[in-house]
Every structure is written in C-alpha cells, then in structure tokens.
C-alpha cells in the first residue's frame, strides 16, 4: 500500500460506507417524485427489475474492478487498457461526480434549511423558501463545506465513521413515519397508486426513468463504487456485499414511498408535482402528528446526513483521481474540487426562482438548470457510463478475468451464480441499456 492509498477499517465499515453512498437524497427525495411523475406503481416495478437485472451486476463489476486495480476510475481503466480511448470513460466519471455534486448539494442544502424551518415553525411554503437566493446559496455552501471536511479527513476516519452510526437511525425513523402515514384518513388511495401497477403506464420514458433512477440510487455509472472498491482487500465477499448494499438501498427507497404516497393522498396533493414533492408533503405530516416538530427536526437532520454520506462519494471519485494520478495531496485535491463544485452549483442554486434565466431555461423536456443538470448527469451520463463500464469489464477486461478477482473472499464458490453474472454483465446490461438510450433520442 502506498502512503496515499488507505483502506477501510473493517468489512462492516465498508458495507455501511457503500450503503451510505447509495442511500441518500436519491432514495428519499428523487425516488418518490420520479415515481409520482412516472405512473406510481408501474414505475416501481420497472425500477425493481432494473436494480435486479442491471444494478446488482454493475455494482459487482465496479467493486471488482476497483479492488483488482486499487485505483480511482481513470487509473483503474488505464491499468487494464493503458492506451486508447477507454480512459475517457474514467474522466466522464470524474466530471459526472462533480456535476452531480453541484446540484446534489443544493438539494441537500434544502434539507438543512428545513431543519431550521421546522424548528422555528416557519410556515412559508417550499416555493418561497427555495426562491430566496440567500437561503439557497447559504445552505448550499454549508452542505458543500461539510462534504469537503469529511473528505479531507479521509476514508477511515471520515467516511466510514459517519456512515456507521447514522444509517441505522434513518431506517428507524422511516419505519415510525410509515406507521403514522398509513393511519391517515385517505391513505389507501396512496397505497393503491404506489403499489398497484397499471401496466398501460409503462412507456419508453418510464423505463428510462427507472433505469436512470437505479443507477443514481446505487451510485453506479461514474466509478464511485470502483473507488470504494479500491479501498478493499481481497478478504471481502464482493457478491454478498453488493447484494446487501443494493437490498438496503432499495428497502429505504420503497420505505420512503410508503411514507410519502399515503400522506400525499391524505392531504390531497398531486403526485406529479416534481422535485418539490417531499418538501411539500412531509412538513404537512409533521404539522399534524404528535411531537411532529421533534420528529420533523430529527428527520431532516438524518436526511442531511444520508445526503452527506452520498455526497462524499461523489467528491471522492475526483479526489482519488487527483491523488492517484496527479499526485495531489488529499487536502489540496479536495479544496480545489470543492471550489470548482461551488461555481458549478450556483446556477442550480439560483434555478428555483431566484434567477429568471436559470429558472426558465429548458432543454430535453426539462425546465430549470437543476432539473436539466440532473437529467444530463444524474440520469443520462450515469446510464451511458454504466453501459460502457459493463462493456469494458465484460469484454475488454473480460468477464472471466473479473470472475477470478470476484472469487477472492467468497464464502462458497457457486459456478452457477458466477455464470449468471457473466451473462448479465456481457449481454443483458449493455444491450438493455443501449435500447433504453436509443429510446431517449426518439423521445426528443
């Protein structure tokens, strides 16, 4: 191990950090509103299939490449293919990470703002709150600074320590909220919308949204899991770790929907309202429920922390690249990339009403800078990156070579399971993603 290459402290620590990367705003903010916009239960079904057939195999593939090469995404790809164009895929990951971080931190800033809004019983609505440029930039900077501080303190002391205690708490509070939400009058209509699929609602757009959401939620397609895998030793079981991470991520997303949709229908709001969904609905629940202020404050704190354990992985990809490849110190790499992210995030922060231009700009059917950035980087780039990564790992490196690496750390070698992975990563993942991506261009 070189001086700059750290390792996870324990296996549990790694799993919690990887789950911490996966579980974040994607589960609690993005999943419910995307489901709401794409037909509810029909979307949930598509999403689950995407996680199973594509998400888990790509997650295993990324962790495997990372552990084998012990490098950031750019370095990992260069280790396998020193010449040629493949390394662009690594740079695409670094860029996507920074671009996603730029708007992710804006949304995470909203959750910090909502901690105070709940505590001080400010009744202004969400639209007014996010249209205020001072609020927007202030909370955005606070969140980005927290991300920077954790990343500077490194893998074991920063990322791992944070993830360990706080993820389980988030699970418990969601569980409590589900019970409350389900008892609200009118909750049934929400459950029906969320769990009873209307298959006629499945279109190319639903499938793209489901696939994009699977990549976003599992932190795939940009090398975050390559990077996390690179801090592993060969004693970790990659298949069971990946499965556990994917299951816990999916569980939290499904649970968030069980909180939101019953409550949404109980208060008579629209499921198709977009990015404000969670911030509009949840405060309504907290207002009504016993001890709602305390629960609300606690909830937004945990959500901000879940966002933090994800945002650090977005930044870590670029930092690991600058440390490994450009020989930066961890601190300088983090400072520089955070500074760049700050500038890139300003348009997103102002895109919620503060600046007319950034609010009204429209591209690919999306309106507002934040939404456009989320579509290009959070959906398209991750899905496209995921397709290229599955081709790179399945064909260029070779699924059989990857399997030799996967075998280290397995409890028991199951040839059938490994063959299934081999088939999924070489054929199913690239082909399905390719067709879904083709569909986008038709939609446009």
Contacts with ligand PFF by CB under 6 A lie at 21-22, 24-27, 97, 100, 216-217, 219, 222, 224, 310, 313-314
Residue 114 or 180 with smaller CB distance to ligand PFF: 114
For 8, the token pair is 């996870």
- CA angle, residues 378, 89, 317, in degrees to nearest 5: 65
Q: Which is nearer to ligand PFF, 21 or 230 (CB)?
A: 21
Q: Which of 233, 232, 260 is nearest to 44 (CA)?
A: 260
| Residue recorded with tokens 């190319």 | 204
Question: DSSP secondary structure string, 157-187?
Answer: IIIIHHHHHHHHHHHHHHHHHHHHHHTSTTH
Q: Least distance to ligand PFF from the beta carbon of 215, Å?
A: 8
Closest approach of Cβ 392 to ligand PFF, in Å? Answer: 17
Smallest distance from the beta carbon of 151 to ligand PFF, in angstroms?
Answer: 13
Taking CB atoms, the residue at the shortest distance from ligand PFF is 26
CB of 280 to ligand PFF, least distance (A): 19
Rounded Cα distance, 59 and 46, in Å: 18
Q: Residue 21 or residue 355: which is nearer to ligand PFF going by CB?
A: 21
Q: How far is the CB of 73 from ligand PFF (least distance, A)?
A: 10
Strand pairing partners for 363?
366
Phi and psi angles of residue 326, each rounded to the nearest 5 degrees, phi first = -105, 0
**Phi-psi category of residue 258: left, alpha or beta, with phi > 0 → left and psi -120 to 50 → alpha:** alpha
CA–CA separation, 81 and 100 (whole Å): 27
Instruction: Name which of 19 and 289 has its Cβ closer to ligand PFF.
Output: 19
Closest approach, Cβ 312 to ligand PFF, in A, equals: 9
Nearest CA to 13 out of 156, 168, 149 is that of 156
In angstroms, give the least distance from the CB of 4 to ligand PFF: 21
Closer to ligand PFF by CB, 289 or 317: give it: 317
- Residue 408: is it exposed, middle or buried by C-beta count within 10 angstroms (0-12/13-18/19+)? middle
Pick the closer one to ligand PFF by CB: 187 or 429.
Answer: 429
For ligand PFF, give the closer residue by CB, 38 or 310: 310
Q: What is the C-alpha to C-alpha distance for residues 298 and 176, in angstroms, rounded to an integer?
A: 12
């Amino acid at each position: 191990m070189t001086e700059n290459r750290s390792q996870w402290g324990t296996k549990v620590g790694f799993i919690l950090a990887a789950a911490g990367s996966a579980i974040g705003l994607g589960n609690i903010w993005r999943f419910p509103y995307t489901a709401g916009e794409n037909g509810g239960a029909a979307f949930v079904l598509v999403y689950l299939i995407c996680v199973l057939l594509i998400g888990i195999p790509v997650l295993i593939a990324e962790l495997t490449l990372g552990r084998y090469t012990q490098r950031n995404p750019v370095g990992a790809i260069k280790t396998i293919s020193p010449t040629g164009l493949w390394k662009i895929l690594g740079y695409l990951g670094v860029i996507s990470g920074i671009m996603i971080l730029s708007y992710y931190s804006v949304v995470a800033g909203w959750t910090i703002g909502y901690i105070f809004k709940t505590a001080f019983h400010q009744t202004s609505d969400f639209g007014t709150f996010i249209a205020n440029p001072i609020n927007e930039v202030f909370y955005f900077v606070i969140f980005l600074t927290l991300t920077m501080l954790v990343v500077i303190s490194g893998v074991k002391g920063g990322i791992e320590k944070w993830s360990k205690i706080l993820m389980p708490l988030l699970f418990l509070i969601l569980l409590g909220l589900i019970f409350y939400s389900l008892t609200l009058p009118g909750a049934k209509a929400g459950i029906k919308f969320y769990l009873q699929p209307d298959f006629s609602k499945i279109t190319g757009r639903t499938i793209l949204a489901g696939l994009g959401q699977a990549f976003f939620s599992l932190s795939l397609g940009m090398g975050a899991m390559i990077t996390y895998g690179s801090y592993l030793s060969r004693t970790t079981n990659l298949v069971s770790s990946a499965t556990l991470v994917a299951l816990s991520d999916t569980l939290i997303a499904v649970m968030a929907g069980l909180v939101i949709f019953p409550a949404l229908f109980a208060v008579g709001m629209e499921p198709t309202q977009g990015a404000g969904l969670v911030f509009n609905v949840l405060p309504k629940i907290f207002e009504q429920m016993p001890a709602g202020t305390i629960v609300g404050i606690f909830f937004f704190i945990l959500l901000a922390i879940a966002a933090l354990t994800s945002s650090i992985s977005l930044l870590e990809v670029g930092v690991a690249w600058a440390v490994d490849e450009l020989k930066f110190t961890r601190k300088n790499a983090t400072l520089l990339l955070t500074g760049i992210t700050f500038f890139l995030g300003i348009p997103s922060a102002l895109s919620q009403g503060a600046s007319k231009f950034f609010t009204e700009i429209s591209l690919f059917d999306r309106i507002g800078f934040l939404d456009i950035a989320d579509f290009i980087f959070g959906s398209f780039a991750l899905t496209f990156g995921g397709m290229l990564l599955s081709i790179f790992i399945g064909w260029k490196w070779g699924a059989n070579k990857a399997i030799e690496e996967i075998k280290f750390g397995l409890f028991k070698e199951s040839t059938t399971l490994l063959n299934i992975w081999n088939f999924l990563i070489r054929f199913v993942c690239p082909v399905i993603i390719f067709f879904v991506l083709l569909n986008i261009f038709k939609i446009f």
